[in-house]
Structures are given as structure tokens and as C-alpha cells.
Amino acid sequence: MTNFKNKTVWITGASSGIGESLAEEFAREGARVIISSHEATELERVRKKLEPISKEVFPVVFNLANPDEVKTTAEKVLKEYGRVDVLMNNGGISQRSTVIDTPIEIDRRIMEIDFFSGVILTKVLLPKMIENGYGQFGITSSISGKFGFPLRSAYGAAKHALFGFYGSLRAENSSKGIKVTIFSPGRVKTKISIHALEKDGKEHGKMDSGQAKGISPKKCARKMIRAMKRGRKDVLIGGVELVMVWIHKYCKWLFYRIVGKIKAA
């Protein structure tokens, strides 16, 4: 079973929600934790919150939407900290708009943040991980990455793409000490629906009723770390909503009937 003590763990999307809870749990594990998002004030809040647990929590501010900044930041992190043993590719943004109403600029923005930013980080970090003979990737996808769902076309596409990319990475590098765990959370009580993009690029501004009843970020983070310790590869996390994944897999006609009745508005 993997031990994260003294490992260097880099978490994106760490200023709130699942990322913040991951930072706390890894700090309790004895890891050196690098926390990132574009929100400097919130990252500093998280650092101060975790100070009684660990003095080894370091904020690194950058914007996942800027590919040049993502690459430069990854190079700086490697230079300053010497290594990254674990990348928690957790940062992202959701969507609340129909295919027909969503301009391509919004699709590209979501894809840049939710997919390409993690790819860039991975391509910078992977060679050093292989050189060290150890590296672990924890990838936050979504059950929306398992199947299409109303108002989530770009989001679902980006989350689905993570499976293709990191599945290939795992297959190519498992013999070199590289591990990949892809998580598909269902409803987790975070701010993701509040910050989700609508067709005009503005934030949705409210929490979905189903999400408000979701599991806590802390519970989600603990399940994620437990799964990584055990070397699991494809992990569902959530509550009763996860039944949709199994219906989609084993009873597609029923899945399409259910999804077809959901109002895209």
C-alpha cells in the first residue's frame, strides 16, 4: 500500500471544495503539499488553516486557462521543489448550457481548463517521475465523463477525454513506476455549479439542488486518497446517483429513456 509521508503532492483547484479537502488529508498523511488555483487570497486561507497540521503547505498561484502560464509554472515548481511525486489534477470548471446555445469559445475555454491544463502539467512532470522511478496521478473526472448529460456537453467531453489520455499514459508507463487513478465523482457539495459557465460565459451563480444533497468534499477526498493507496485505477465516488453509471453500462435503453426526460433548461 502506498505511503504518502514525505512525498511531494501538487494539488490544483485547491482553494476550495475537493481540492482543499485533499490538501488537508495529504497534510495529515505527512506529505509536502503544493496547493494551486488562480485565487491567491483563498490559497493563503487554506495554508493558514492547515498550519496547525503541517508547515509544509506551499501556495502556487496560476491560471489553468492560460497554457503558457501552466507550462511555465510547472517548470518553476520542478526547479524550486526538485520533484513532484503526486499530481492531483483536480482543478476545473463546469457548464450549464445547451449545445445549440453554447458558442465555440466556451467549449474551448472549458476544454482548456478541464483537459489541456492537466495534459500540460503531466508532460512537464512525467519525465522526472520516470527518472525517479515513481510517480502518481490522481485525476478528477466526473460521472458526466462516463456518458452524455444535458447542459454538460463541453464539460462531459473534457472529462471523457481524461480517460483516453490518462489510460494511454498508464498503459505506456506502468512498468516505469507510474500509477494513475481516475476518479468519477457524482454529487459532491462544492461550489462547482455556482461557478459553472452559462452560454454567455457568465457564472451560473447557484448551487444545483441535487448537488446540495451530495457527499461532503472531506468524505470525497478521503475516498480518493484511500483508493490511491490501494492502487485502484477507475473509481466512482458519490451516492445514489452512481446507479446511473451502472444503468448506462448494463441497461442502455433505460438510461436513454431516463436522460431523455431530463429538461435541458
- Residues designated catalytic: 155
Cell numbers at residue 52, please? 496547525
Find, among 40, 42, 41, the residue nearest to 17 by Cα.
42
Decide if 198 contacts 97 (C-beta within 8 A): yes
State how far the Cα of 189 lies from the Cα of 207, in Å rounded to an integer. Answer: 9
Where b means 16+ CB within 10 Å and e means fewer, 90-119 reads bbbbbbbbeeeebeeebbebbbbbbbbbbb
State how far the Cα of 76 lies from the Cα of 72, in Å rounded to an integer. Answer: 6
Any bridge partners for residue 234, and if so which? 182
